[in-house]
Amino acid sequence: MYKKFIIVFLIIMAHLTHAIAEKVIVFKFTEDEKETLKVRKVKKETTYTIGSNENGNFLKAESQGKASGLGIEKKIDLLKTPFINITWKVEKGLPGIDEQSKQGHDFAARVFVVKQTGITALSKKAISYVFSSNNPVEKYWTSPYTEKSIDYVLATTQNNTNKWVTVKANVKEHFKMLHGIDVYNIEGVAIMTDTDNSKKTAIAYYQNIYFSSE
């Protein structure tokens, strides 16, 4: 009887532990929030609009030879919530470009996570999680524009075109693997759809971006 009680107790505790898993929402994707996000314009502004479906609000991005991102300053404790979760979709990708070159360094969808590593504005390192049109999942390389940013493929249109895809990545482990540094928190997250180098057209959607403990 006692053994059965212990087993039941452990099962209940396992369910409770799962139920209280921590979650930090990054973007709400509302019109009010959109007005507060920081715009980083590289070349003209990508068109970002708010929409919704059965799973909630999303952000639609359309770019034709343009490049700008939307960012939020938000401290994320990677000791508590190291996993970034992204639901996204690419309606029109960028096949045929060399994403590792300056001439083809464009992505229909990507999400940056940023770590301040020093006291100056330039003292930052980033990981750009990308929805690639030409490379397989888990491939990564240093940005041709700066060694401080690494592109890491989390999804690819080679398998998923015009389909919602949900992905997850351990940001803490990736900073150690890709940048060689131990990171316990990050200070910002940004979204960017850009086609300024290839001069092509891309259409993508972002939804349910959050950090979790598991």
pLDDT at residue 42 in the model? 87
How confident is the model over 155-185, as pLDDT tens digits?
999 889 899 999 999 999 999 999 999 999 9
Position of tokens 């068109």? Answer: 47
In this structure, what CATH number is given to the domain that contains residue 174? 2.60.120.260
- Pick from 23, 34, 32: nearest CA to 191: 34
In a domain, 17, yes or no: no
CB atoms within 10 A of CB 38: 11
Distance CA 193, CA 205 (A): 9
Question: How many Å apart are CA 157 and CA 151, to the nearest integer?
Answer: 16
* Total domain count, the chain: 1
Is residue 73 classed as helix, strand or coil in its secondary structure?
Answer: strand
Question: How far is 29 from 49, CA to CA, in rounded Å?
Answer: 9
Domain that holds residue 37: 22-212
Does residue 3 sit within a domain?
no
Evaluate whether residue 10 is within a structural domain. no
Q: Is residue 13 part of a domain?
A: no
pLDDT tens digits, residue range 132-145?
A: 999 999 999 999 99
pLDDT in tens, 78-107: 999 999 999 999 999 999 999 999 999 999
* 5: CB partners within 8 A, 6+ apart: none
Residue 56 lies in a domain: yes
Q: Is residue 192 part of a domain?
A: yes
| Residue with token string 């057209």 | 201
